[in-house]
Amino acid sequence: MAATVTTESSSTATFDRRSWMGGIEPMKASYGKLMMWFFLISDTFTFSALLVTYGLIRFSFPAYDPAIYGAFKFSNEYWPTPDKVYNALPFLHGLDAPLIFVGIMTFILIFSSVTMVLAVEAGHRMDRADVEKYMLWTIVGGIAFLGCQAWEWSHFIHGTEQGTIIKEIIGGQTVSRTIFGASLVENQYGPPAFADLFFFITGFHGTHVLSGVVLNILIFYRTSFGLYDTRGNYEMVEKVGLYWHFVDLVWVFVFTFFYLV
Amino acid sequence: MAKHQHNNTAVVSHEPSSQVKTIWKVFFILLGITVFEFIIAFVLQPSYLKTSIFVGLTIVKAAYIVGEFMHLKHEAKSLFWAILLPVIFVVWLLLALMLEGGHIFTDRL
């Protein structure tokens, strides 16, 4: 690890007073950027906690196996295959389009990450018009993603047309009942834990996207009023950019562990 | 520190720098990997191989986002490791508790 607290002029033999007077950046990053990184690592722990919980619960349930259960149908006896659950598209009711919608969402988020990094690059050049343009595209991407997620949640909550018949033991007797969609206590697609994890993980991520959009709007507003030109640097764009890329990064993991595996 | 010293003297440039090329390259790599993941999702039957391919590709995507978009690859080594080391321990926790989940499954039978 190369960068410890030493300045070029100091020799190792003498005590270097300047190193202890403040103003030294051992990590070669400004205070604000460093704190953003440390916030992000703590946020990583929070998301990891959710994903670790998902891993534990997922492996404590049987996986769907055609040799044991026959053709796939929703049942709370086993964990469902994701492409059977997430197979709907808005305006195309009844069409079986596995994972297409979540693919579109992934594309939107990756693309908004690209426009964000282009805004950061424009900030390095002090090009206000370009920063405004790319920030606006990033905001549009974020709002589009949130809209998609709202639709996805609504579809998940309302369920399929046929619903799923579940058997319950009430007062010593087995009663059959059809349930539609999912809530925190009932789930037509599989075990209730599956819906709980879906709501918590995508919900927590969606909250992050929402705060990201609010921050982006704030930065766009301040850019267009020339605050960063007066200040002489566009570092705020970089810091919020770090947050926005983190949100994209979390989605990469959610996409793999929730939708693909 | 250097950032604070060139207050109001920074030059405005309307020409995109050479960075832009790298940004788009990374975008197409990320897009390509995601498309490839989609193909794998429908072509292969569920197996350990399929899961490992997904996890491997996810790590590659994460490396590009953190390394290039978040610029971590070009930061000081101490910052780089301050971020990466804790994450390695998180992976350990994830693997340990996934195994634990498997044991809960066998005990339930």
How many CB atoms are located within 10 Å of the residue A170 CB?
8
Output phi, psi for A208, to 5 deg: -65, -40
ipTM for the complex shown: 0.85
Give per-residue pLDDT as tens, A6-41. Answer: 455 545 556 676 777 777 787 888 888 999 999 999
> How far does Cα A260 stand from its chain's mean position?
15
Distance from CA of A126 to the nearest CA of B (A): 5
Residue A112 confidence (pLDDT) above 90: yes
Q: What is the reported pLDDT for B10?
A: 61
Instruction: Calculate mean pLDDT across residues B15-20.
Output: 80
Residue B2 confidence (pLDDT) above 60: no
What is the identity of the amino acid at A256? T
Output phi, psi for A170, to 5 deg: -120, 120
* pLDDT band per the 50, 70, 90 thresholds, residue A83: confident
Q: From the candidates A34, A40, A60, which should be mutated to test the interface with B, based on the most B CB atoms within 10 A?
A: A60
Answer yes or no: are the C-beta atoms of B65 and A113 closer than 8 Å: yes
B25: left (phi over 0), alpha (psi -120 to 50) or beta: alpha
Give per-residue pLDDT as tens, A155-182. Answer: 889 888 777 877 777 778 887 778 888 8
Supply the mean pLDDT for chain A. Answer: 86
Residue of A nearest to B103 (CA): A60
Beta-bridged to residue A165, according to DSSP, are A178
Pick from A136, A108, A109: which is nearest to A224 by CA?
Answer: A136
CB contact under 8 A, A110 and B30: yes
Residue B68 confidence (pLDDT) above 60: yes
Instruction: Calculate mean pLDDT across residues B86-108.
Output: 91
What is the identity of the amino acid at B48? Y
Residue of B nearest to A255 (CA): B58
Q: What angle in degrees, to the nearest 10, is found between the helix axes of A192-224 and A31-59?
A: 160
Residue A133 confidence (pLDDT) above 50: yes
Q: What is the reported pLDDT for A1?
A: 45
Q: pLDDT exceeding 90 applies to what percent of chain A?
A: 49
